[in-house]
Amino acid sequence: MTRMIDGKSIAEDIYKELKEEVDRLGDKPGLAVVLVGDDPASLVYVRNKERACKRLNLSYRLVRFPSSVSREELKSSIEELNMDKSINGIIVQLPVPEHLDSFEIISSVDPLKDVDGLHPDNMGRLVSGRPRLIPCTPLGIVELIKREGIDVRGKRAVIVGRSNLVGKPLIHLLLSLDATVTVCHSKTTDLKRETSEGDILVVAVGKPRFITKDMVKDGAVVIDVGINRVENKLVGDVDFEGVASITSLITPVPGGVGPMTVAMLMKNLITAYNIQSNKK
C-alpha cells in the first residue's frame, strides 16, 4: 500500500521548531535576496522566501537589479551585504542572465552567509564529510527521509539528475547515511535499468512525468523534485498516478519537496546566524 509523504505538514512542524528557536534568540536574523531580472518563476520563489521570513519574524531584504547589471555592480552589492552586520544570509536567486558567470557570483558571497550552500567552500566541506551550510533542496530531501523513518543504510539510492543544486550535493548526503548511491544523467545509456534498481529513487530532471511505472522498483520510495508547469498546473518529474500504484512511499507535486526547500533555507539562515555569533 503506497503512502504519500506530506512535505507540507513536515515543513509546518519544522517552522514551529524554528519559531521557538528564533524566539529564544532574542535577535532578528536577516536574509538578503539578490534578484537579477524578472524571471516569473524566480519572482514566485523570492516571494515564498519573503513569506517564510515574515512567518518566523526574520528580517528580509530584496536587492533587485535589471538583467543588464554588470558583474562589477553586482559583485560590489554582494560585497556590501557581506559586510552588513544586520544580514546573516545572502542568496543570489538563480538563474542569473547569461553574461554573468554564476560560479563567480556565488563565490563572491561570504561562505558564512551562503545560506544556499552553493559556495565552493561549502560544497567542498560537504564532499569532505565536514558540512557547514548545505544546499536547501537536498537537505530538505534528507530531512523528509529522516522524519519518515526511512532506513537508507545499505540500500540502493538512485538519483536522476546531477545539478550542483540538487543531484551532486545529494550524493554526499545519501553516502553519509550509508546508502549505495548511483547517479544518472542525460548520457546514462540504460536509464530504466538503473532506476529500476533503486530502493530509493530521487528524480530531479525538469521533465514533466518523465519517470513512469515501468522504470520503478516495486515498493520503492520515490522522491520527486521536479516542478513543471503543464497547462497551468504544477506537475513533477514522476508520472504520479502510475508510479504511486507500486511504491511504498512517494512525494506529491506540489506539497512534497517544494515546501521543505524553503523551510531548510530558514533553518540555514538560523544556522548561519549561530555560526556568525560564535565567531564574534
Q: Name the residues that contact ligand NDP, by CB under 6 A.
A: 137, 160-163, 165-167, 184-188, 191, 204-206, 225-228, 257-258, 261
Check if 116 is active-site. Answer: yes
Q: Which helix (H) or strand (E) holds 268?
A: helix 257-279
Q: What is the smallest separation between the CB atom of 45 and ligand NDP, expressed in angstroms?
A: 8
For residue 16, how far is the Cα from the chain centroid?
A: 20
Nine cell digits for residue 90: 545572502
The alpha carbon dihedral of 89, 95, 96, 100 has a sign of positive
- Amino acid identity, position 168: K
- Is residue 244 within 8 A of residue 250, CB to CB? The reply is yes
How many CB atoms are located within 10 Å of the residue 54 CB? Answer: 11
The residue among 77 and 261 lying less far from ligand NDP, judged by its C-beta, is 261
CB of 262 to ligand NDP, least distance (A): 8
Active-site choice (116, 199, 237, 239) = 116
**CB-nearer residue toward ligand NDP: 37 or 206:** 206
Active site residue 214: no
Query: Minimum CB separation from ligand NDP for residue 233, in Å?
Result: 14
What is d(CA 33, CA 43) in angstroms, rounded to the nearest whole number?
A: 11
Output the smallest distance, CB 158 to ligand NDP, in A.
Answer: 11
Residue ranges in 85-224 assigned as alpha helix (H): 102-107, 120-127, 136-147, 167-176, 191-195
- Residue 69 CB neighbour total at 10 angstroms: 19
Task: Give me the least distance between CB of 24 and ligand NDP, in Å please.
Answer: 28
Cα distances from 130 to residues 19, 61, 134, 135, 235, in angstroms, run: 27, 30, 10, 14, 35
User: Is the CB of 93 or the CB of 271 nearer to ligand NDP?
Assistant: 93
State the cell numbers at 256. 512534497
For ligand NDP, the closer of residues 36 and 225 by Cβ is: 225
CB of 77 to ligand NDP, least distance (A): 24
Of residues 102 and 163, the one with the C-beta less far from ligand NDP: 163
Residue 15 or 75: the one with the smaller Cβ distance to ligand NDP is 15
Set of cell numbers at residue 111:
561562505
Does the annotation count 8 as an active-site position? no
Q: Which residue has the cell 538560523?
A: 270
- Residue 190, class by beta-carbon neighbours within 10 Å (0-12 exposed, 13-18 middle, 19+ buried)? exposed
Structure-derived torsion over alpha carbons of residues 255, 257, 260, 265, reported in degrees to the nearest 10: -130
Residues marked active site are found at: 49, 93, 116
